Amino acid sequence: MRIMMLENGFPPEFSSRLPYEMAAGLAARGHDVVVVTVPPRRYAMASVPSGTQGKDVELADPQGVCVVRSGFSLNGSSLPARIVEHLLVPLVVFLAGLRGPLPDVVYASSPPFFLGWSCALLARIRGKPAVLRIQDVHPDALVRLGFLKNRGIIAPLEWMERRLYRAMDQITVIGESYRRHVVSKGIASERVHLVPNWGPSLPPVIPDVREELGWTDKFIVTYAGSMSWAQDLGTVVDAANLLRAESRIRFVFVGEGAQKTFLQERAQSLGVSNVEFLPLQSRDRHLGILKASDVCLIPLKKRFDSPSVPSTSLDMMACGKPILANVPLAGDLAVLLRDAGCGFAVEPEQPQVLADAILRLFSDPERGRAMGESGRTYLRTQLSLERCLEQFERIFRGLGTSSLAVERPLEV
Nearest to 48 by CA among 87, 11, 90, 86: 11
pLDDT at res. 236: 97
pLDDT at res. 226: 87
Check: CB of residue 321 under 8 Å from CB of residue 244: no
Question: Which residues of the chain form CATH 3.40.50.2000?
Answer: 2-198+384-407, 219-382
Tens of pLDDT, residue by residue over 213-256, are 999 999 999 999 989 888 899 999 999 999 999 999 999 999 98
Flag residues of the chain having pLDDT under 70: 43-62, 72-82, 145, 304-308, 400-412
Classify domain 219-382 by CATH number.
Answer: 3.40.50.2000
Torsion of CA 164, 127, 194, 166, to 10 degrees: 30
What is the C-alpha to C-alpha distance for residues 21 and 24, in angstroms, rounded to an integer?
Answer: 5
pLDDT at res. 282: 86
pLDDT at res. 201: 83
- Per-residue DSSP letter, 194: E
pLDDT at res. 75: 62
pLDDT at res. 377: 95
Domain 2-198+384-407 has CATH 3.40.50.2000: yes
Check: CB of residue 344 under 8 Å from CB of residue 313: no
pLDDT at res. 258: 84
What is the C-alpha to C-alpha distance for residues 165 and 186, in angstroms, rounded to an integer?
Answer: 9
The Cα-based distances of 321 to 137, 251, 316, 369 in angstroms read 28, 15, 6, 7
Q: What is the DSSP string of 292-323?
A: H-SEEEEE--TT--S----THHHHHHHTT--E
The Cα-based distances of 193 to 130, 140, 388 in angstroms read 14, 19, 11
